[in-house]
Structure 1
Amino acid sequence: MMDEAQPDTTADPVTDAVIDAAPETAFQHLHPLSIILKSLSLLSQNLIAIGVLHFSLFDQNIAYTSLAALCLIALVVGVTALIWSRFTYQIGAKEIRIKSGLLNRNSRSIPFDRVQDVSLEQKLISRILGLTTVKLETGSGGGEDGTLDALALTDGEALRDMIRDYKDGLKSETIAVPESASSEDRPPLFAMDNRRIFIAGLFNFSFILLAILATIAQNLDFLLPDGFFDPRTWITAISEEDRINGLSSTARIFGAFLAVGSLIFVGFASGIVRTFIREYGFRLDRVDSGQPGFRRRRGLFTLTDMVMPIHRVQAATLSTGPIRQRYGWYHLKFQSLAGDPSGETDHSTAPCAQIKEIAPILADAKIDQAADSLAFQKVDPAFWWRDALIIWLVLTIVALLTGFLLSAAFFAIILLAVPVTTILYLKWQRHQYMLTQAQIFVHRGWWKRKLTILPRRKIQTVDVSQSPLDHPLDLATVTIGIAGGSSIRPLMIMDMPFEKAMELRQQLINQTANPQAADQTGM
């Protein structure tokens, strides 16, 4: 089925004539401070290269290193200034024109009625200087199609409001109060204080800090002793350490637990820090001017301000886990045709929220939660026992070969099948679906639990497939495609009886179903 029709953005003839008669501004440059911002960004990317030259080619000669650094600064600033001088833009009555390029000149026109999303992004230095980056997305390339980096914050907000007002059929000159001010005066749909961000960070366990340190160490390995990344070097050093050899068995066991505990602490700390950097100041507002949508602002070092039109929301996903669900915490995301500043189409709408906080957001997006009175259907039990049999067979063969050829201790490998089988069984228990008159609900995952809520009017394709292992059992997998959905991990209902899969497919693609009918769900 095709997506719902786009809102009619055609203005009346009188308004259109007034807009056509409005004078166009001259081509203008970005803010001059953008030269400094871009130069600092490029120079920071070459600091490691200067360090490598200092310790290798220049043999730690500070004079040569300083001269090379000065030449690099002059080159970067000069080229950046030249690029800035050749980049101009013009805001017209119905479009924005961008001219860029040093040798190959490029002239691009972006009509306002083609712009699907306008987002503002402020990095830390930009926030201090009162600048912002404006990103325009038309939906033609999966990311932003025009970027103005950098404008004064007031100019960026005025451009965003102008495009939004144009799409609403209004003249920007008639707007006395910008949307950014009016939305601040209203209570947010959802917001997170520091306590809530800390709770969200506890559930985002990550070893990204160790990964960053390892990456830095690998780039500066010439400063590290030989064999630093060789585990055998560390094992030898520890075995020869008198202080460790003199410890009792109890002390060694305690030390091992302490080391594991330190890794766990680093994982939790990394998750909390990462969440604070990404979600600090999280606020979600309802926007009614222009195309109705959700305005999201967040970020500690890089503040992003984006609006996601409601009509571009394709599906909702509620993510949780065994522990998070026990305490009632969920992460709401919207699958949208509009990409955020990072290019992602899975928009984090409520990173750490209770069901009662999520309900009004879903209601504004015209998506209902499943009523408790409606029962989900499980897929065929072959979902777990078929894979379990294969794993038991493989591990049994490996255990027998290694046990007879190497050591009897390797017979214990077969015990690995026990936790794997348990996990498969738990995943089968969670893999459920439910079809109502207006929506389909799909549960999947045991540790990373996800509930996808997909309005049937948003469905683009429905495929029924069978693998070689499905044919003997007469099973099939139903794959549901939506516009803007992930081609890597599409929405799938696995291991259904073939006849039931074909029946579900027919129901989903049935054009006679009334998408506006009241869904038998409750909030």
Structure 2
Amino acid sequence: MNRLHPLSAVSMALQRGVTGFSMPFFVVMILSSFVDAVDIGWVFWLAPVGLVVGIAYGVAYYYRFTYHATSSTFDVTSGVLSRRSREIPYRRIQNVDVSQNLFQRILGLAVVSIETAGGGQTEATLNYVSEDEADRLRSEIRRLTAKTDAGIDRDEPTATAATDATDDTGESTQRERPRAERGPVLLFDLEVRELVIYALTSFRWGAAVFPIMLLFFLQGADSGSGPVPEFLLLAAEPFGGPEAVDSAAVGQLLVLSAVTVIQWTAATYVASAIYTVANYYGFQLGRTGDDFVYERGLVQRYSGSIPAEKVQSVTITENPLQRLVGYAGLWVETAGYGPDSGGGNQSAVPLAGADRVYRFAENLTGVETPGFRSPPGLARRRYLGRYSIVAAVIVAVAFGLAQVSTFDRWYLSPVVFVAVPPAAHLKYVNLGYFVGEDHLVIRRGFWKRRTTVVPYYRIQTVSTRRSIFQRRLGLASLVVDTASSRTFSWGTPTIYDVDLETARELQGTGRERLQSALRERARRDDLGLSVDFT
């Protein structure tokens, strides 16, 4: 059995000690407000007791936490008051990630996270081990996972590569070195220019939390400005905003809100660019044996492995700015763990030339160059009606505001109908699907266009979905589900608004080719099993 790094005991003791020290303050203060028997003075003796108990718990947790890599499972035992033992089969392991923040890198520590197929949550986390131990664990788990997937007995020799060596007589001879011990073959290296373009053409709404935190900070620093910081009022004043919120009219408040939203969006864009640079600085993707390995990050350093056998699908992403400059990104998805789940570490190519990315996707999956089929013209008519309803709602809202405020130019709002035809057209032309011999390729989306390549043998279910409006037009959508967690954050790959008969044909074709692909894989792997796919 192995233990964590000794500094883990120090870290856990400090964390638990601070928690134990601070909890009495909150508990006693709350209880003293409702229960007369509780004296606020209890804090002065409960807090030191909590500190000691917390430190003792952190040290005990360190000594009670052990891990061990066996021939078939990775075992983790933890818990102080209640013991928890986990045996993680290697066949279930999807990813082994190693992360280091700046402080951990200075101390030579790392956090190892083991992800499994089961919803994207971390199955086991080792806080902390040395850098050498993290590399050893990642290599060992990767080797044992590959052997388990290949059905190789532990005592059998691993795949090797010939290297030159000298024997005792000085003569050159050949010796075998395990393939897992060789360095990874570099597949992709994110250049500085590509990183800058990626930062400038990406927008992450999650970065909005940073300007919000800054807003609260500025508001606290300038408490005399009232509920709204002074700089927001000054920015909105030239456009008809109020000098003060208390005496502002409804129209002035609307101007203030609009200017604030614009400022917040701009600040979010800047924060998103900074986050992208810090997160993907030094990104490299390589291959070791049957695994993809990656490394990235400026302050927080991430590295890990993605077993090629576990890849469920491959998705190419492009937003309008990236398409304008001819760039795209590529993401891979594994069962229960996707690029936008917990760690978000599944980018194969964050950004590169679109032609280069498409070639990489074809080489990675073996898919033939797709010739996309578009939905029928009725789909464009449906989108025209959908966006017309949205435009009508905007006009109605503008008219309503005119009735309760000084906003008297609501009659300009119908100009939004001008955007309806191009919006419907762009929605339509960015949809498409391709039914290949071994893969199904689905393209959808304008603001974030995604082209997903799904091998037939990775498909879990194929189902037809129809809304009320689709039934009126004789249309249907085909939902293709895999075991990937990407479906939780991006939506399940779907072929939208095809004819009902076409959807049924595609569903039948997908089912037949899924069965054929499974039979072929069973024969190729020589499993010795008799399987009836009916």
Contact 1:377 1:434 (8 Å CA) reproduced: no
**Other-structure match for 2:246:** none
* Alpha-carbon distance in structure 2 between the residues aligned to 1:281 and 1:51: 44
The alignment's C-alpha RMSD in Å is 4.5
* Alpha-carbon distance in structure 2 between the residues aligned to 1:225 and 1:86: 49
Gaps of 5+ in 1: 1-26, 54-64, 242-257, 519-523
**Other-structure match for 1:195:** 193
* Alpha-carbon distance in structure 1 between the residues aligned to 2:22 and 2:273: 28
Judging changes above 3 Å, is the alpha-carbon distance between structure 1 residues 473 and 47 closer, same or farther for their aligned structure 2 residues? farther
Judging changes above 3 Å, is the alpha-carbon distance between structure 1 residues 107 and 368 closer, same or farther for their aligned structure 2 residues? same
In the TM superposition, what whole-angstrom CA distance separates every residue of 1:331-365 from its partner, at most 9, and x where no partner exists? 10112215269636782110011245435643453
**Which structure has the higher relative contact order (CA within 8 Å, separation 6+)?**
1
1:123 corresponds to 2:124: no
**Other-structure match for 2:409:** 409
Contact 1:403 1:411 (8 Å CA) reproduced: no
**Other-structure match for 1:467:** 467
1:352 corresponds to 2:354: no
CA shift, 1:268, in A, is 4.7
1:192-271 matches, within 5 Å, as 192-206=190-204, 211-215=209-213, 218=216, 224-225=222-223, 228-230=226-228, 235=233, 266-271=267-272
Q: Which segment is superposed worse, 199-208 or 71-80? A: 71-80
Q: Which segment is superposed worse, 422-431 or 31-40? A: 31-40
Contact 1:399 1:412 (8 Å CA) reproduced: no
Contact 2:116 2:337 (8 Å CA) reproduced: no
**Other-structure match for 1:370:** 369
* Alpha-carbon distance in structure 2 between the residues aligned to 1:395 and 1:43: 55
CA shift, 1:295, in A, is 0.9
Residue 506 of structure 2 aligns with an amino acid whose one-letter code is L
* Alpha-carbon distance in structure 2 between the residues aligned to 1:448 and 1:424: 16
**Other-structure match for 1:433:** 433
Contact 2:460 2:482 (8 Å CA) reproduced: yes
* Alpha-carbon distance in structure 1 between the residues aligned to 2:294 and 2:84: 32
* Alpha-carbon distance in structure 1 between the residues aligned to 2:400 and 2:391: 14
In the TM superposition, what whole-angstrom CA distance separates every residue of 1:381-423 from its partner, at most 9, and x where no partner exists? 2232221343355456556666688776323332233324532
CA shift, 1:260, in A, is 10
CA shift, 1:240, in A, is 9.2
**Other-structure match for 2:275:** 274
**Other-structure match for 1:82:** 60
Q: TM-score by structure 2 length?
A: 0.72
Q: TM-score by structure 1 length?
A: 0.73
**Other-structure match for 2:5:** 31
* Alpha-carbon distance in structure 2 between the residues aligned to 1:306 and 1:222: 41
Q: Which segment is superposed worse, 493-502 or 325-334? A: 493-502
Residue 505 of structure 2 aligns with an amino acid whose one-letter code is E
**Other-structure match for 1:493:** 495
In the TM superposition, what whole-angstrom CA distance separates every residue of 1:497-523 from its partner, at most 9, and x where no partner exists? 2222222222222248754999xxxxx
**Other-structure match for 1:510:** 512
1:53-68 matches, within 5 Å, as none
* Alpha-carbon distance in structure 1 between the residues aligned to 2:369 and 2:492: 21
Q: Secondary structure at the match of 1:469?
A: helix
CA shift, 1:202, in A, is 0.8
* Alpha-carbon distance in structure 2 between the residues aligned to 1:294 and 1:86: 33
* Alpha-carbon distance in structure 2 between the residues aligned to 1:66 and 1:223: 31
Q: Which segment is superposed worse, 317-326 or 358-367? A: 358-367
* Alpha-carbon distance in structure 2 between the residues aligned to 1:39 and 1:220: 35
* Alpha-carbon distance in structure 2 between the residues aligned to 1:307 and 1:493: 31
Q: Secondary structure at the match of 2:103?
A: helix
1:142 to 109, 120, 127: 120
**Other-structure match for 1:336:** 334
Residue 35 of structure 1 aligns with an amino acid whose one-letter code is A
CA shift, 1:368, in A, is 2.4
* Alpha-carbon distance in structure 1 between the residues aligned to 2:46 and 2:157: 52
Judging changes above 3 Å, is the alpha-carbon distance between structure 1 residues 466 and 97 closer, same or farther for their aligned structure 2 residues? closer
**Other-structure match for 1:294:** 292
Residue 116 of structure 2 aligns with an amino acid whose one-letter code is T
Residue 31 of structure 1 aligns with an amino acid whose one-letter code is H
Judging changes above 3 Å, is the alpha-carbon distance between structure 1 residues 512 and 430 closer, same or farther for their aligned structure 2 residues? closer
Q: Secondary structure at the match of 2:114?
A: strand
Q: Which segment is superposed worse, 455-464 or 266-275? A: 266-275
**Other-structure match for 2:383:** 384
* Alpha-carbon distance in structure 1 between the residues aligned to 2:431 and 2:420: 16
How many residue pairs match? The answer is 463
Gaps of 5+ in 2: 28-42, 161-175, 244-258, 521-534
